[in-house]
Amino acid sequence: QVQLVESGGGLVQPGGSLRLSCAASGSIFSINAMGWYRQAPGKQRELVAVITRSGTANYADSVKGRFTISRDNAKNTVYLQMNSLKPEDTAVYFCSGSYPYQPTYWGQGTQVTVSS
């Protein structure tokens, strides 16, 4: 069984930065792409970024140029570097692992709050 454990969330001022981490354990051979989703109060969950095993990344338009997703296959860990944070980035962020084409495994979620 696959487990995803997230860390790095917290409170930050507008314009600040945070780095989220998600470590996978268990049957990690069953994971292909990994990604980050977020869900703000009163809104649907949305894809933030996704990265393949080979390192190809895609981003939601709302975070392009500000967020960077990366992956360390040796450590079975995916990261989300978030810069120039805005209040509208406030949400619960979820790590996901896809197999074979859709998100199959999920982390517990970590709160990111951007506020003065």
- Write out pLDDT tens, residues 63-115: 999 999 999 988 999 999 999 999 999 999 999 999 998 999 999 999 999 99
Q: Check: CB of residue 6 under 8 Å from CB of residue 18.
A: no
Return the number of other C-beta atoms located less than 10 Å from residue 62's C-beta.
13
- Write out pLDDT tens, residues 5-25: 999 999 999 999 999 999 999
Please spell the DSSP secondary structure of 40-96, one letter per residue.
-TTS--EEEEEE-TT--EEE-TTTTTTEEEEEETTTTEEEEEE-S--GGG-EEEEEE
